[in-house]
A = this chain, B = another copy of it.
Amino acid sequence: MDISAFERKLESLIDLDADDRRAVAALPVTEHRVGRRRDILRQGDRPTFVYILLEGWAARYSLRSDGSRRITGFLLPGDFCGIHAVCHAAMDHAIVAITDCRVGQVDREAMRTLTDSRDAIAEAVWRAKLAEEAILRKWLLASDDAYHALAHLLCELFERADQLGLVRGDVLSVPLTQEEIGDALGLTAVHVNRTLQRLRAEGLIVLENKQLTIADSGALRRAAEFKHEYLRSWRDRSDR
C-alpha cells in the first residue's frame, strides 16, 4: 500500500533516519476509501484508530444548532485525523471527505508504540499539532474581512499543497465548492463568489474549473498579510 504521503509529511517536519523510516514502513496500516461528502470521523466518536489521509482532501467541521456548518480546517494528504485517539478522547468535531479519499487506519496502540519508540516521530507529530494550531490562529486573525480571509486561505492552501508536491507548474487543483469555502470562512457562498471575482478582477488569481493559479503572488500575499513562516519554520529552524 502506498503511504508515501505520510512519509512525505513526516519528512517535511523532521529528518528521519533509517530506523525511523523502517518503523514507519512497518506500521500496520489498513487502507480505506471514503467517498466525497461522507464522514471519515463523526463528532462524538471515540475512535480506537488514528487515521491518516493518504490521498484526497478532507475537512474538519462542526454543525450549529440551526444546521449551519463551520469548517475549521482542511486536511491534505499526509495529515492525521483523530490523533485524539491516543488520548482516548472523544471527537469534538467531525471530519468529512471533500473529494473521494484514500485513508490509512492505524491502531492507536501501534501509533503510541511508534511515537514511544521513535523520538523523531514523536517530535514530528508534536510539530504537526503546533502547525495546526498556528493555522487556526491565522484563520482567526484573517477573519476581520472577507477579502483578507479569502486571500489568506488561498495562500495557505497553495503553500501547503506546494510543500506536498501537489502544485503542477503553477496550477493547483482546489476541489472546494464556493459553499465549502464559505463554511470555512464564515461567509455565505454568494459573498465568497463576489469576493473571488474581486480577486480575479484585480488580477491576483486565476480560478476556473477548480484550477487555481496565483497570478500576482506579491499582491495576493500583501492582501492576505501572508507570511509563510508559520507553515515552514518547523523544520529549517529546529536545531535539535
A residues contacting B by CB (< 8 A) are 46, 60, 62, 64-65, 68, 70, 72-73, 84, 87-90, 92-93, 123, 126-127, 129-130, 132-134, 136-137, 139-141, 143-144, 186, 225, 229-230, 233-234, 237-240
Contacts and interface: CB of A to CB of B under 8 A. Distances in A.
Contacts of A133: 129, 132-133, 136
Contacts of A90: 229, 233, 237
A74 to B, nearest CB: 13
A46 B54 CA distance: 33
A185 to B, nearest CB: 10
A126 B87 contact: yes
A64 B137 contact: no
B88 A239 contact: yes
A136 B70 CA distance: 13
B89 A137 contact: no
Contacts of A130: 84, 87, 89, 129
